Chains A and B, each alone.
Chain A
Amino acid sequence: MKTNISEKSQVSPVMTLFLIHAMQVGVGILGFERYISAIAGHDAWMAVITTGISTHIVLWIMYRLLEKSSGGDLIALQQELFGKYIGWGLNFLVLIYFLSFVLTILRTYIEVIQVWIFPEFSVWALGFIILLLAHSFVIGGFRTVTGICFLSFIYGAPLFIVKYFPLQYANFSNLMPIMEQSPLAILKATKVMTLSFLGFGLFMLYYPFIKRPKQSKKWAHFGLLTTTYTYLVTALVSYVYFSQGQLKHTIWSTLSLWKIVSFPVFERFEYVGITIWLFVVLPNICLGIWAVTRGAKLLFSVRQKIIIPTVLIILFISNGLFQNRIQVDTLNSLISTVGFYFLYVYIPFIFIYQCVLLKVRKPS
């Protein structure tokens, strides 16, 4: 099962930071505040921190799982643990999940474009052109995909500086009193919050493509830390700018915050912001497609060059089938729930299973 990956397609351990960070920051960050504050009110930002901590634990488990497996990725691991047939079935389900994850991101971004820039824009046309763009990245292999992950970090960084503008009108008393909510409410908000952090599950598929995996541990955790920091700042800025009542009616709070940014030569920053956001969403789509096709390559023993167009066509058709906001929302919450159980229930489960299995097998 072990496939040798040439050094030419591997990336340096530092890139793990960008791979993990880029995959976690997607469309979710544009409007997650509303969902968590609905549960935990103005204390919801604490849920961001607790979620951040929980992701570190899951990542630690992932590293343990992959280090002990011989194949080096999730596909090999599941076949090793559950045998040929069950393992194959589970792998297939995981790939379906990742594929729908990509679909969610793609469709939600198109939704954003439709709501904010081009209301009349056809879903089919936008989906086609974005997938075509994704194709040109994925065809370049893992290094190119990592490249766009890294570049998205650079392109996205200026958007972070723009947060300064709403801070001019900040009302810090919005955050007071601290710890008003019960810990239970914060834990519940944590569960909702995890949905935004899901992307790093793909890590289990590209793990063998990282040079010197031991060194990458540090960077992977830094990646998670960067994500937590990004979400925390975003949440705090929204909470000090919007009151709880306003937040209830703001679907895309980050986009609404961009509206007040103004420069002497241009206004209405959200147009520019959404445009730059393409490069924040693109790594999600590219890395997702890459991971799915890589998994399918191992699973079906077909060349990746044949699978990529197939997967893109599937994505293109299914993307076009979602025609309104409600469907997109349903898709989002469905994938989120599945993702939550995948990361926080299934991964710990196979970890324990692997521990037991190794203990049992050892004496023989």
Chain B
Amino acid sequence: MFWRNRQKKIPTKQERAATIKDLFHDLEVSNDFTTFEHKKETMSCWISFFKTLVDVEYVHRDVLPFIYEGKIQNLKDIKANLPVEDIILTRDAHTVQEKVMQGYIVVQMKKYDSECLVFSAIAIQGRQIDKPEIETSIIGPKEAFVESIDANLNLVRKRVPIPKFHVKEIQIGKISKTRVNMLYIEGIANKENVNTVLQRLNEIEYDHMIDAAVLSQMMGDNQHSPFPQFIDTERPDRVAGTLYEGKIVILVDGSPHALTCPTTIVEFFSAFDDYFLVWHFASAFRLLRLFAVAFSVLSSPMYVAVLTYHYQLIPKDLLQTLISSRSMIPFPPFLEALILELLIELLREAGARLPTKIGQTIGIVGGIVIGTASVQAGLTSNVLLIMVAAAALASFTTPNYLMGTTIRLIRFPFLIAAQLWGIIGIALCFGFFVAHLLKLTSLGRPYIEPIYPLRMTDLKDAFIRLPYGKQSTRPMFLRPQDPGRFNYDRAREKNDIDE
């Protein structure tokens, strides 16, 4: 558990230096720490910084000339003269440590003097804002988050230009002190949800925080659930859209993904593309994806169940095809299906681990060679090969990667259940998942919401997406403070024919 552990208290070491002198002794060990004395007739001062964290060009061009100027006598003069807005005069070793690690410059009158002037000269280094790579779309915006939290916030703020859009910063990680931002729109987002997120973020006790995916596991409602409880997205437009719905977004410094919460299970199967298409097509594609999920999970278990126990289910004509394709196979259907499923998983895993160029080769080798060769060698049947391949294809239609992984892996319990108790086993296994999903919550809100508890108004944007004219209310499960998007009654006033 990552939550506060009350049973045992492990004493943590003091990570912070007590005095400035200790701090500088620590810092000087690193080679990229620069400290030098600047001497003039009137005064001398010590300037220190990490050259890897500081924008050196900026320091030489805009900072040092002001310090070298003749009139400067002490730190107060520097503070008054420097054209930098973020400038602190402090004697606190903790502040100095925190700032210098972020890329601030420290100026002291004497070496190891306890009075320090720190000011910002942070070098922003990171990748350029790029096209989304996971949630690609043909139409719609082509920006994706990057690793810098400020750049990400900029992308969101551009789309939500209102003062009610609030950002709360929390530091997570006892050592790393990672910046985590909570974004919401005051007046739309539910206060209870905001407080829940804030409380959970504050309760997390861990030494570091690398990525949003780690955070989502730590603050999820049920950490043992195979289902992700927060949607992670790399699209700022999607984040803005969910903010306007009344959701809460969490950004983690260093992570190109934002978390949106609370969520329901159907949202994991809705791509953001759906909002750019006309509603008929959007709805059709959503239904297609849901069908794909059902097919992907159930096809090979059904094959095993039917061929092991219930061959009566198959009509006579179809049975002939099946039997002729299976007649020379030495394995029982279960083993046959398991081997093929594992092969597909192997291919996927290998493809994910290898660089893109080799990955393609693996795809060809795996797909064609293993597929056709295993059939020709008489190890698997054609029919099963088609089904497993189609199921793998179907599992990749899930827009959310984490949910896609869940969908791919939950077929294995189904497969085992099908072998044990046939079609009844599949139903029983399904029952266990239903029980789990009924109990699951996201931020305390029911996970399978528009279905149970049944909320008719939320079905407008669940399995199908109705036209925007019908989307007059924000999702009810979020309990937004301001539930209406526009006045539906006024929008409905239409003229009669020929008026």
* B314 within 8 Å of A (CB atoms): yes
Which A residues are CB-close (under 8 A) to B436?
136
Could you tell me how many residues of chain B have their Cβ less than 8 Å away from some Cβ of chain A? Answer: 25
Secondary structure class of chain A's binding surface, majority of residues? helix
Secondary structure class of chain B's binding surface, majority of residues? helix
- Whether the pair A148, B435 counts as a contact (CB closer than 8 A) is yes
Which B residues are CB-close (under 8 A) to A140?
435, 438-439
- Whether the pair B438, A282 counts as a contact (CB closer than 8 A) is no
A140 nearest in chain B by CB position = B439
* B291 within 8 Å of A (CB atoms): no
Q: Which of A137, A143, A262 contacts B435 (CB 8 A)?
A: A137
* A279 within 8 Å of B (CB atoms): yes
- Whether the pair A144, B312 counts as a contact (CB closer than 8 A) is no
Which B residues are CB-close (under 8 A) to A272?
313, 423
Complex interface residues of chain A between 113 and 171 (CB less than 8 A to chain B): 113, 117-118, 121, 129-130, 133, 136-137, 140, 143-144, 147-148, 150-151, 154
Which A residues are CB-close (under 8 A) to B427?
275-276, 278-279
**Separation in Å of the B125 CB from the closest CB of chain A?**
49
Q: Which of A15, A118, A264, A267 contacts B424 (CB 8 A)?
A: A118
Report the separation of the CA atoms of residues A113 and B424 in the bound assembly, to the nearest whole angstrom.
9
Q: Which of A11, A117, A151 contacts B310 (CB 8 A)?
A: A117
Report the separation of the CA atoms of residues A282 and B434 in the bound assembly, to the nearest whole angstrom.
12
Could you tell me how many residues of chain A have their Cβ less than 8 Å away from some Cβ of chain B? Answer: 35
* A14 within 8 Å of B (CB atoms): yes
Q: Which of B424, B432, B454 contacts A136 (CB 8 A)?
A: B432
- Whether the pair A151, B426 counts as a contact (CB closer than 8 A) is no
Known A262-B315, A265-B318; judge A136-B310 contact (CB<8 A): no
- Whether the pair A278, B310 counts as a contact (CB closer than 8 A) is no
Complex interface residues of chain B between 433 and 469 (CB less than 8 A to chain A): 434-436, 438-439, 451-454
* B141 within 8 Å of A (CB atoms): no
**Separation in Å of the A214 CB from the closest CB of chain B?**
20
Interface bits B173-195 vs A (CB < 8 Å: 1, else 0) = 00000000000000000000000
* A300 within 8 Å of B (CB atoms): no
30 A-B residue pairings within 8 Å (CB atoms): A11-B453, A14-B454, A113-B424, A117-B423, A117-B424, A118-B422, A129-B421, A129-B428, A133-B435, A136-B432, A137-B435, A140-B438, A140-B439, A143-B438, A147-B438, A148-B434, A148-B438, A150-B452, A264-B315, A266-B315, A267-B312, A267-B314, A271-B423, A272-B423, A274-B424, A275-B423, A275-B424, A278-B428, A279-B431, A282-B431
Sample of 12 further A-B pairs with CB below 8 A, known A267-B314, A282-B431: A117-B422, A129-B421, A130-B428, A133-B435, A136-B435, A143-B438, A144-B435, A147-B452, A262-B315, A271-B310, A275-B426, A278-B428
Instruction: List residues of chain B with CB under 8 Å of any chain A CB.
Output: 309-310, 312-315, 318, 421-424, 426-428, 431-432, 434-436, 438-439, 451-454
